[in-house]
């Protein structure tokens, strides 16, 4: 299949509260090396030449604050109010993506330090003909199932076929619109899950350890360390 003629837009769900990070500002506005998580994520997306538009779903009570924060990026970055679930936030941002964007990425703001090369790899896989593409990593730990009380092991799961899923996830725009329109519940944690329910194949590409999601306070410490290591390697461009 050939490269679609239109552009590529990225949706950034950033409307979560960050409950697991503990008390403080919404997660997307917390900082790594003094720079808000959301700004890191947007930088990583727009450093890819093919990304022509970024639509951020902001906390509904923080839209003007997020707009001010992202003003330096100009019209390439738009801000809409997010919803009460991630899925709803993505759907609201998707409504703001013009039709000429044939490829749409969905990228968690919380994956602040995602290498731009991973963004490019996802776009290229969609452009090459995959309708839905997700970056994944093998599962490192042994995985066990437990009973409903959570106190006893019921099985050891064969991890060889398991993968941990990251973002950006990439889609043909028409497929993502269809997947969201047909969603029955509003609480899926990724968009590829909605595509799977339509019976459409989802392709996987290798993810990247540095595309981890900032979820807990430990992840913030890890992110500071990753950023510092990059800054030492590339003092001019620590995002690289
Ligand atoms: N998200 C969103 N709208 C929501 C909930 C989540 O846009 N109503 C976004 C978050 O801002 C985040 C991404 O979805 O960038 C992944 O969600 P998660 O890591 O769970 O973030 P939070 O929901 O903010 O964190 P927590 O679950 O700990 O509260
Ligand atoms: Mg959440």
**pLDDT over 70 (residue 67):** yes
Q: Closest-lying ligand to the alpha carbon of 215?
A: 1
For the four alpha carbons of 228, 205, 78 and 180, in that order, the dihedral sign comes to negative
| Cα 6 to middle of ligand 2, angstroms | 32
Rounded to whole angstroms, the Cα distance separating 201 from 133 reads: 9
**Alpha-carbon gap, residue 73 to 128, rounded angstroms:** 29
**In angstroms, what is the span from residue 233 Cα to ligand 2's centroid?**
33
d(CA 27, CA 136): 23
CATH number given to 8-133+166-233: 3.90.550.10
The pTM is what? 0.95
* Ligand 1 pocket mutation pick from 110, 217, 218 by most atoms within 8 angstroms of CB: 110
Residue 239 banded pLDDT, cuts 50, 70, 90: low
The answer on pLDDT for 39 being more than 70 is yes
Residue 126: name the closest of 48, 183, 231, 71 by CA.
48
Write the residue with the smallest CA distance to atom 6 of ligand 1. 16
Q: Is 238 in the pocket of ligand 1 (CB under 6 A)?
A: no
Among the bound ligands, the one closest to the CA of 89: 1
């Amino acid at each position: 299949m050939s490269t679609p003629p239109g552009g590529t837009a990225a949706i950034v769900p950033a409307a979560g509260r960050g409950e697991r990070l503990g008390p403080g500002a919404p997660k997307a506005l917390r900082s790594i090396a003094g720079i808000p998580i959301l700004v890191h994520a947007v930088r990583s997306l727009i450093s890819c030449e093919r990304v022509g538009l970024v639509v951020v779903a902001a906390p509904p009570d923080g839209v003007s604050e997020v707009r001010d924060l992202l003003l330096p990026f100009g019209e390439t970055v738009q801000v809409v109010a997010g919803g009460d679930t991630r899925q709803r936030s993505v759907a609201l941002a998707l409504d703001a993506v013009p039709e000429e964007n044939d490829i749409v990425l969905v990228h968690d703001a919380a994956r602040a330090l995602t290498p731009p090369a991973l963004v490019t790899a996802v776009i290229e896989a969609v452009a090459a003909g995959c309708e839905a593409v997700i970056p994944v990593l093998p599962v490192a730990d042994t995985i066990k199932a437990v009973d409903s009380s959570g106190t006893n092991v019921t099985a050891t799961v064969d991890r060889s076929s398991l993968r941990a899923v990251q973002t950006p996830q990439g889609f043909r725009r028409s497929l993502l619109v269809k997947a969201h329109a047909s969603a029955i519940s509003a609480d899926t944690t990724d968009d590829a899950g909605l595509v799977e329910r339509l019976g459409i194949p989802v392709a996987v590409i290798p993810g990247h350890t540095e595309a981890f999601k900032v979820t807990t306070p430990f992840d913030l410490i890890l992110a500071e360390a990753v950023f510092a290591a990059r800054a030492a390697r590339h003092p001019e461009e620590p995002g690289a």
